[in-house]
Amino acid sequence: MTNSRKLGLILGPLFFITILLLPELLEGKEHANAVIAVALWMVTWWITEAVSISVTALLPLLLFPLLKIMPITDVGANYGSPIIFLFFGGFVLALALEKVDLHKRIALNIIRITGTTPDRVVLGFMIATAALSMWISNTASTVVMLPIAMSVISLLIYDEDGFTKSDRNFALCVMLGIAFSANAGGIATVIGTPPNSVLIGLLENEYHIEVSFLRWMTIGLPFSIILLTICYLVLVKWMFRNKQLKFNASREVIDEELKKLGPTSGKEKMVLVIFACTVFLWIFRTVINKFIPGLGLSDTMISMLAAIALFALPYNLRRSDFIIGWGDTTRLAWGILILFGGGLALAQGMSVSGIVDVVATTIASSDISILLTAGLLIFLMLFMTELMSNVALVAVLAPVVAGIAIGLEIPMLYLLIPVTIASSCAFMLPMATPPNAIVFASGYVRVHEMVRVGIILNLISVGLLILVFQYVIPLLF
């Protein structure tokens, strides 16, 4: 265990006890100290990763009832919120795509279509990774793309002129392109990255505001595409050019990988049909509900329908052959689901203790520019997510941002959406996101190279999100 983790392990409970012993921090709010104490303990453990971030997320389940903040039934309800099951269904769908190798086939075909000149190969990898990251975890999409990328790069290492500067720039572009597009791609959908779901859950649980799958995509998908385009241009046209590089063998690698997969299997077709139907229902849910009054179809119901179908529809009934069985769920990210629950419980604690109201009142009585406030919050979230889990960060800060929006007397979605998206724009450090760490481990990327291009992309992202706050969200929401 590292020294920072050891320190965090001790500091978490120490901060908790200290805050509890202090006089009332917020006048008239009897449970405020207790909630702040729990929040500080959780943040300390989340930042230092003293224990698993999912284990940390269980603290409200123990401490909120003990401190009389909320009864255990109310706290526990957060861990079984509909948004948890929306993500569970998404995880099962991703599990099926991975099990039958459909995600790999889709990625390889996208790369083959985009072409085999160096810049187009980079573009192909980025589009394929982003497309996968919309539906499966950014970690899984990076892991899928990495060995294919390594195969293409190895062609340059062992060619007749060796591994030249242009070759190295190409390798950098591919590796960083995969990491950055995995982060950017997840922004496009509700299930693409955990912070999106934490926000949707908070809005539904605390404020009874529903943001449908399609409604999120109206802002998430265009932003994801623009960010992806900027990442591509910054990498291949500015930071790491490879003008002199020419090779055609990459098509052979892609064709060889596709050949290994063989023809599309029946199971792949079955998963593809279920996946396509699920996406169709998510996108056209509101239209379907209008045509069939009383149906009340929700995104969570659609997600669970897909999950149950993958478990229950037999591929071969005689052999009891199903797409996935319960044993496959050992690879499911259960910890993330618990993390969602902990985040929602913490948000509810902040709300019932009056902390959010105090934040709102304080902001309302101050004379701060709305645009400046939004810019500072976006900047804070984006650069803080370089150092700690973006899910944990959104879980802690989203209720506070909601209070700030109330204090500024603007719709909370105007602030919450860009601030949440900012948590997925970590391009600077290897430890910021799993995709960054994975490509860094490949050996083709040095820390100073990631920082050099990452800080530019971070600042561009801040500017983009301020524009989104000022001009785009008011039109869409």
Q: Average of pLDDT values for 431-455?
A: 85
Specify the pLDDT at position 113: 81
Report pLDDT for 153.
79
Q: Which of 115-124, 226-235, 306-315 has the lowest mean pLDDT?
A: 115-124
Q: Please, what sign has the CA dihedral across residues 362, 367, 369, 375?
A: negative
Indicate whether 161 pLDDT > 60.
no
Q: Which of 145-149, 364-368, 397-401 has the highest mean pLDDT?
A: 397-401
SS percent in the chain: helix, strand, coil, step 5: 75, 0, 25
Two structure tokens written together for 239: 């930071």
Closest C-alpha to 229, from 134, 147, 123, 314: 123
Residues 454, 269: Cα–Cα separation, whole Å: 39
* SS3 at position 419: helix
Question: What is the rounded distance in angstroms from the CA atom of residue 248 to the CA atom of residue 117?
Answer: 7
Q: How confident is the model at residue 396, as a pLDDT?
A: 83
- Under DSSP, is residue 313 helix (H, G, I), strand (E, B) or coil? coil
Closest CA to 184 of 13, 472, 435: 435
* Contact between 353 and 399 (Cβ < 8 Å): no
Least confident interval from 89-98, 102-111, 300-309, 359-368: 359-368
Q: Name, in order, each residue with C-beta under 8 angstroms of 294's C-beta and a sequence gap of 6 or more.
A: none
Residue type, 16: F
411 has a pLDDT exceeding 60? yes
What pLDDT score does 286 carry?
Answer: 82
pLDDT category at 29 given cuts 50, 70, 90 is: confident
Q: How far is CA 436 from the centre of its chain?
A: 13
Distances (CA, A) of 475 to 63, 218, 472: 42, 11, 5
Average pLDDT over the chain reads 86
Handedness of CA 465, 471, 475, 477 (dihedral sign): positive
344 pLDDT more than 90: no
Query: Which band of pLDDT confidence, cut at 50, 70 and 90, is reported for residue 247?
Result: low
Higher pLDDT, 315 or 72: 72
Backbone angles phi, psi at 5, to 5 degrees: -70, -40
Mean pLDDT to the nearest integer, 58-78:
93
Instruction: Give the HSE-up count for residue 161: Cα atoms under 13 Å, Cβ half-sphere.
Output: 10
197 contacts 180 by C-beta, under 8 angstroms? no
Look at residue 77 and tell me whether its pLDDT is greater than 80: yes
Mean pLDDT for 346-360 is 82
Percentage with pLDDT > 90 across the chain: 33
237, 231 Cβ separation under 8 angstroms: no
What average pLDDT does the segment 457-473 reach?
A: 95
pLDDT at 35 over 80: yes
Q: Which are the contacts of 350, defined by CB distance < 8 A and separation ≥ 6?
A: 35, 39, 356, 399, 400
Q: Give the confidence band of 350 by pLDDT, cuts at 50, 70, 90.
A: confident
pLDDT computed for residue 427 by the predictor: 92
**pLDDT reading at 414 higher than 90:** yes
Distance, in Å, from the CA atom of 27 to the CA atom of 33, rounded to the nearest integer, reads 10
Give the span between the Cα atoms of 281 and 84, in whole angstroms: 19
